Amino acid sequence: MPDKKTGKVTSITPSRDALEAYTKLHGGCSSDKLADALGMTLECILATQQIRPELVDDLIKFTDTYVRMLRNAVIALGGTSLEITATFQDGKIVIDKFSR
């Protein structure tokens, strides 16, 4: 997450409070597993793509826009929904958006 004053990335994982709130709303799956998955994904993006760290949030927001448009297209074509689900041994979490 970019620091508001410097604009530099200070963390690539969401706060524990945010993950715990998300877990309470979206099922009983461990917030540690979701944090690990999000952290691994962001580290992979930074390591393998030629993207400056400060642009990662923009990339994730673009992904949210793409998924939202895909969801609308599925509904327009007669589908009822589009779900992205993370499945762990102790439960499932429906991912509504990728940005925090």
- Digit-by-digit pLDDT tens for the chain (100 residues) are 445 555 544 454 455 555 555 555 545 555 677 777 878 888 888 888 888 888 888 888 888 899 999 999 999 999 999 998 888 888 888 887 777 6
Q: Can you give the length of the chain in residues?
A: 100
Q: Which helix (H) or strand (E) holds 93?
A: strand 91-95
Which residue type occupies 82?
A: L
**Contact assessment for residue 23 and residue 34, using Cβ atoms and an 8 Å cutoff:** yes
91 DSSP β-pair partners:
88
**Contact assessment for residue 50 and residue 61, using Cβ atoms and an 8 Å cutoff:** no
Non-local (6+) Cβ contacts of 39 within 8 A are 12, 13
Residue 21 sits at the vertex; the CA angle it makes with 38 and 92, to the nearest 5 degrees, is 60
